[in-house]
């Protein structure tokens, strides 16, 4: 019986001790080193006086060291939260306020950066921690973990300007990864290439599928995502047979048809994508050059670990047809609810996709109010307490009984693979003293964030003022000055009218 994800690392370090577990440009670790370094880190965490089940931050550059630190924190019985070192300082401060971490794993080089924040917890310096193969205190903590304990907290955009900490349990990850491994028949001979940052849920299967199966995980150097031919050469060189990336990363390759220069047909077995709409126009290019690959469209919010539905592409689609998001994953129920909270079963009728199952997050860390709003009582169950998660995504069933994603109900968008609440940008802009009213809309056609505001300022002038508050990917791509932003009958900004200016 499995109570924690650590069983996978225990087993892979015993069976595949000398095999590469994780590789990056500067460093690699075998499964034995992965295990031993994680146990060493856990020992350091325990010895620094950090209690069981406490939040521990990882503040490191993207590298092999990040997943190793995650497992160190898990071995200590605590839960991890990765922080992007490039994130604006104000946003990091807000995350730290929510999380109140007890310790941080960082490097000698980055310690000074972290010291600038209002943080009084312990410091564990990665390179100062020695690996150890076993430790009594660590083993005791590991044995105490139960599967409803938190494994990690990932922060996503929050409309009030404070990111929301999605809290995921060991059970959630075990469920999702078991399903994944079974569905795609993952084995030790497979090899994975990671694209997504570790603070993003799309990286979760990379870390845990490889760990469970004893397969190697290669962290693709970031600059290759702007050099598609080099990217494919990298996949060839490392003999990668499975990729699980966001569509934006796959599109980089199909846009210039990089397959004409590098043939991966004898290597690549599975191309899995999740996190945003995959346009069939782009997928068809992949399918044309690599027809024997298994393609799968996975759908899901961070609140459902990584995915809760899956569609394994099994027929032809025209370029302008939507690709279904498919069917619920095993041990997960998808309820499509209409505005009256009734179950939608009829093809073509639109409703909100709601998720039910053990894979669901335990809520938003230190945010009861938002948790209550999004994780609600199942309206179809009046007999006992049972929570469902309301995704805010509008979907329908097609004539084949498959789910099809249509749009969002609210102001959350996906831009270049990033989940963004437009409200978070509006909150940052509104804080500038010369702004009285502002509004953000997403211009799908040009894939850019459009900001309307009543301050005559250019995009370039605005940039440095926002840089400290929101990440680069949230900076508006177009800024429109309006002396009087139109209001509707309720006195609210008339978003419909503004759409005409996109």
Phi-psi region of 357 (alpha: psi -120 to 50; beta: other; left: phi over 0): left
* DSSP code string of 204-250: HHHHHHHHHHT--EEE--GGGGG-HHHHHHHHHHTT--EEEE-HHHH
Quote the least distance from Cβ 117 to ligand AMP, whole Å: 25
- Return the number of the residue (158 or 301) whose C-beta is nearest ligand AMP: 301
Quote the least distance from Cβ 391 to ligand AMP, whole Å: 5
Query: 30: which residues sit within 8 A by CB, 6+ positions away?
Result: 17, 18, 19, 20, 21
Quote the least distance from Cβ 325 to ligand AMP, whole Å: 5
Sites for ligand AMP among residues 156-215 (CB under 6 A):
156, 201
Stretch of residues binding ligand AMP (CB under 6 A), selected from 226-234, 237-245, 299-307, 426-434: 299-307
- Return the number of the residue (75 or 295) whose C-beta is nearest ligand AMP: 295
297 binds ligand AMP (CB under 6 A): yes
Alpha-helical segments (H) within 405-475 = 422-430, 459-466
- Return the number of the residue (12 or 203) whose C-beta is nearest ligand AMP: 203
By CB under 6 A, name the one of 302, 332, 367, 427 that touches ligand AMP. 302
By CB under 6 A, name the one of 103, 145, 151, 325 that touches ligand AMP. 325
Quote the least distance from Cβ 302 to ligand AMP, whole Å: 4
In Å, how far are 175, 299, 324, 327, 411 from 334, measured between CA atoms? 15, 11, 14, 8, 22
What is the C-alpha separation between 237 and 262, in angstroms, rounded?
A: 11
299 binds ligand AMP (CB under 6 A): yes
By CB under 6 A, name the one of 274, 336, 354, 441 that touches ligand AMP. 274
By CB under 6 A, name the one of 3, 125, 277, 380 that touches ligand AMP. 277
391 binds ligand AMP (CB under 6 A): yes
Structure-block tokens of residue 409:
């109900």
Quote the least distance from Cβ 480 to ligand AMP, whole Å: 25
Q: 30: closest CA among 64, 77, 72, 70?
A: 64
Stretch of residues binding ligand AMP (CB under 6 A), selected from 26-34, 69-77, 297-305, 420-428: 297-305
Write the secondary structure of 151-194 as one string of H (helix), E (strand) and C (coil). EEEEEECCCCCCCEEEEEEHHHHHHHHHHHHHHCCCCCCCCEEE
Question: What's the CA dihedral at 308, 145, 375, 167 to 10 degrees?
Answer: -80
- Return the number of the residue (235 or 298) whose C-beta is nearest ligand AMP: 298
Quote the least distance from Cβ 342 to ligand AMP, whole Å: 22
- Return the number of the residue (202 or 438) whose C-beta is nearest ligand AMP: 202
Phi-psi region of 107 (alpha: psi -120 to 50; beta: other; left: phi over 0): beta
375 binds ligand AMP (CB under 6 A): no
376 binds ligand AMP (CB under 6 A): no
- Return the number of the residue (156 or 427) whose C-beta is nearest ligand AMP: 156
Sites for ligand AMP among residues 393-452 (CB under 6 A):
393, 405, 408, 414, 419
Cβ distance 172 to 183 under 8 Å? no
- Return the number of the residue (138 or 313) whose C-beta is nearest ligand AMP: 313
Sites for ligand AMP among residues 50-89 (CB under 6 A):
none
Structure-block tokens of residue 301:
């919010």
What is the C-alpha separation between 405 and 321, in angstroms, rounded?
A: 12
Quote the least distance from Cβ 481 to ligand AMP, whole Å: 30
Write the secondary structure of 36-101 as one string of H (helix), E (strand) and C (coil). HHHHHHHHHHHHCCCCCCCEEEEECCCCCHHHHHHHHHHHCCCEEEECCCCCCHHHHHHHHHHHCC
296 binds ligand AMP (CB under 6 A): no
Sites for ligand AMP among residues 6-35 (CB under 6 A):
none
Quote the least distance from Cβ 318 to ligand AMP, whole Å: 18
Quote the least distance from Cβ 409 to ligand AMP, whole Å: 10
- Return the number of the residue (223 or 444) whose C-beta is nearest ligand AMP: 444
- Return the number of the residue (138 or 250) whose C-beta is nearest ligand AMP: 250
What is the C-alpha separation between 328 and 124, in angstroms, rounded?
A: 41
Number of shown-chain residues binding ligand AMP (CB under 6 A): 19
Quote the least distance from Cβ 156 to ligand AMP, whole Å: 6
Cβ distance 193 to 230 under 8 Å? no
In Å, how far are 6, 68, 74, 190 from 29, measured between CA atoms? 17, 9, 18, 17
What is the C-alpha separation between 459 and 443, in angstroms, rounded?
A: 16
What is the C-alpha separation between 466 and 359, in angstroms, rounded?
A: 36
The residue ranges that bind ligand AMP (CB under 6 A) are 156, 201, 274-277, 297-302, 325, 391, 393, 405, 408, 414, 419
């Amino acid at each position: 019986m499995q109570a924690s994800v650590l069983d996978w690392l225990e087993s892979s370090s015993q069976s595949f001790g000398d095999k590469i577990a994780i590789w990056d440009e500067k460093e690699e670790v075998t499964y034995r080193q992965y295990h031993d370094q994680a146990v060493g880190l856990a020992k350091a965490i325990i010895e620094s006086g950090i209690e069981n089940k406490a939040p521990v931050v990882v503040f490191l550059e993207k590298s092999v060291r990040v997943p190793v630190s995650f497992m160190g924190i898990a071995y200590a019985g605590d839960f991890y939260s990765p922080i992007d070192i490039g994130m604006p300082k104000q946003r990091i401060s807000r995350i730290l306020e929510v999380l109140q971490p007890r310790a941080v794993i960082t490097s000698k080089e980055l310690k000074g950066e972290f010291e600038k924040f209002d943080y009084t917890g312990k410091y564990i310096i990665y390179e100062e921690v020695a690996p150890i193969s076993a430790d009594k205190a660590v083993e005791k903590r590991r044995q105490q973990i139960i599967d409803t304990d938190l494994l990690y907290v990932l922060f996503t955009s929050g409309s009030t300007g404070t990111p929301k900490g999605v809290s995921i349990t060991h059970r959630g990850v075990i469920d999702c990864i078991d399903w994944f491994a079974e569905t795609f028949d993952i084995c030790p001979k497979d090899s994975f290439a990671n694209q997504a940052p570790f603070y993003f849920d799309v990286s979760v299967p990379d870390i845990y599928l490889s760990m469970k199966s004893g397969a190697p995980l290669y962290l693709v150097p970031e600059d290759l995502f702007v050099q598609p031919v080099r990217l494919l050469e990298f996949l060839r060189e490392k003999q990668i047979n499975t990729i699980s990336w966001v569509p934006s990363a796959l599109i980089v390759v199909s846009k210039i048809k990089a397959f004409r220069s590098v043939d991966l047909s004898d290597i690549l077995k599975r191309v899995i994508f999740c996190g945003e709409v995959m346009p069939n126009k782009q997928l068809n290019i992949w399918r044309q050059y690599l027809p024997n690959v298994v393609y799968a469209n996975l759908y899901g919010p961070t609140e459902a670990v990584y995915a809760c539905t899956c569609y394994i592409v099994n027929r032809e689609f025209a370029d302008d047809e939507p690709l279904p998001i498919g069917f619920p994953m095993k041990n997960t129920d998808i309820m499509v609810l209409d505005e009256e909270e009734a179950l939608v079963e009829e093809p073509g009728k639109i409703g909100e996709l709601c998720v039910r199952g053990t894979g669901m997050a335990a809520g938003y860390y230190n945010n009861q109010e938002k948790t209550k709003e999004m994780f609600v009582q199942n309206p179809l169950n009046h007999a006992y307490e049972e929570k469902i998660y309301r995704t805010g995504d509008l979907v329908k069933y097609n004539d084949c009984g498959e789910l099809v994603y249509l749009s969002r109900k609210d102001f959350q968008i996906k831009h270049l693979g990033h989940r963004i609440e437009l409200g978070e940008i509006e909150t940052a802009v509104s804080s500038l003293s010369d702004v009285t009213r502002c509004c953000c809309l997403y211009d799908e056609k040009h894939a850019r964030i459009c900001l309307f505001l009543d301050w005559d300022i250019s995009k370039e002038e605005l940039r440095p003022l926002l840089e400290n508050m929101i990440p680069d990917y949230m900076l508006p791509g177009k800024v429109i000055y309006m002396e009087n932003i139109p209001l509707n009958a309720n006195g609210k900004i008339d978003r419909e009218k503004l759409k005409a200016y996109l």
